[in-house]
Amino acid sequence: MIVLGIETSCDETAAAVVDDQRRILSNIVLSQTEDHRPYGGVVPEIAARSHVEHIDGLIRNAMELAQLKFSELDGIAATAGPGLIGGVMVGLVTGKAIAAALAKPLLAINHLEGHALTARLTDNLEFPYLLLLISGGHCQLLLIEGLAQYTRLGTTIDDAVGEAFDKAGKMLGLPYPGGPAIQAAAELGNDLAVDLPRPMIGREGCDFSFSGLKSALRRKLESDPNLGVDDVAASFQRAVGDVVVDRTANAIAMARQKRPDVPYLVIAGGVAANNHLRLRLDRLCVDTDLQLVAPPPEFCTDNGAMIAWAGVERLGAGLTDPLDVQVRARWPLDPHARPMPFAGKKA
């Protein structure tokens, strides 16, 4: 079974071809970071226009690289949400057009499900596992028990963790995106130099909050303009690490109540590329007798292979979608999870 995957929900235009033997036949990602850098964040209109310009050529290249004819595909998977709606429409309409022209099944994929199932593609993982999904748009802990069996244990009540990194980077005058820039600066700094709060630590459950940390950082920088950027970056990264470890430790206990046998903690999303967080979570897993599974960074950030793979899994289970399926700006993976009214579009 061979599936084409299309991803356009944020600032990466991506296309990939994956088969049910976990072979990634092609995987092309075109990042728009340079287009958005002058604005210090993703501009939805610029993103959508860029997807329109590049998607056709990218899909053609992905098929050529996989050395396949369109007629050899068994299904077409495209992200249908959640995300920046203009971009999502570009990808889904393209997927629909290809599916209609070929008379092949369409798979309308939840972007979060793509992230959630990636470790099954890259690390051949069995269900169940605990998933920490940390990206520019999402910050959630989920128990993954099977295809379409996802329980959200916690989420952010305001900003996503990557968003916090990006805003902190901007305050420090670092280039966009802030996450990698803070990581690099932190390597040269003292992480005990600046006293910052650790929102939610010690609280029941495993929800996150980063807006207090962001405001505290702004106040520190205003009150002492001479603080060293490296020290601030290191202290900020450590504070985020403390929060993530505390919340994940609670999630492990919550997951074990439902599934005492859960063997893995999987990390996904762009922030999962962060060295400091990987180290801290590795230590947590050793302490709690879990195995940390961290897919290679290029599969943690947005890509087409994760969408194609989610398509393979759904097609295998007969979960195809009609050609009039709609895009969804908001689309929780766990339909029973309570909504977070202040978490904006992103959480």
Where on the chain is the footprint of ligand KG4 (CB under 6 A)? 10, 135-137, 162, 165-166, 177-180, 183, 269-271, 273-274, 301-302
Name the CA radius of gyration of the chain, rounded.
20
Total number of residues binding Zn ion (CB under 5 A)? 2
> Does 110 engage in binding with Zn ion (CB under 5 A)?
no
Return the number of the residue (154 or 189) whose C-beta is nearest Zn ion. 154
CB 146 within 8 A of CB 129: no
SS3 category, 51: helix
Return the number of the residue (250 or 303) whose C-beta is nearest ligand KG4. 303
| Sign of the torsion angle spanned by Cα atoms 343, 268, 149, 207 | negative
Q: Where are the beta strands (DSSP E) in 43-189?
A: 75-81, 106-110, 129-134, 139-146, 149-155
Return the number of the residue (2 or 233) whose C-beta is nearest ligand KG4. 233
CA–CA dist 90, 180 (Å, integer): 28
Buried b (16+ CB within 10 A) or exposed e, 228-240: ebbbbbbbbbbbb
Minimum distance, C-beta of residue 31 to ligand KG4, in the bound complex (Å): 9
* H/E element, 282: helix 275-288
Minimum distance, C-beta of residue 289 to ligand KG4, in the bound complex (Å): 27
Q: Which does 81 bind (CB under 5 to 8 A by kind): ligand KG4, Zn ion, none?
A: none
The encoded tokens of residue 139 equal: 């910050």
Minimum distance, C-beta of residue 291 to ligand KG4, in the bound complex (Å): 22
| Stretch in the footprint of Zn ion (CB under 5 A) among 90-98, 149-157, 162-170, 294-302 | 294-302
Minimum distance, C-beta of residue 16 to Zn ion, in the bound complex (Å): 14
The number of CA neighbours under 13 Å toward the Cβ of 46 is: 15
Q: Which does 274 bind (CB under 5 to 8 A by kind): Zn ion, ligand KG4, none?
A: ligand KG4
> Does 135 engage in binding with Zn ion (CB under 5 A)?
yes
The encoded tokens of residue 107 equal: 């798979």
DSSP state of 208: B
Q: Which does 177 bind (CB under 5 to 8 A by kind): Zn ion, ligand KG4, none?
A: ligand KG4
Write out the binding residues for Zn ion, residues 298-337 only, by CB under 5 A.
Answer: 302
| Stretch in the footprint of Zn ion (CB under 5 A) among 57-65, 128-136, 146-154, 320-328 | 128-136
Footprint of Zn ion (CB under 5 A): 135, 302
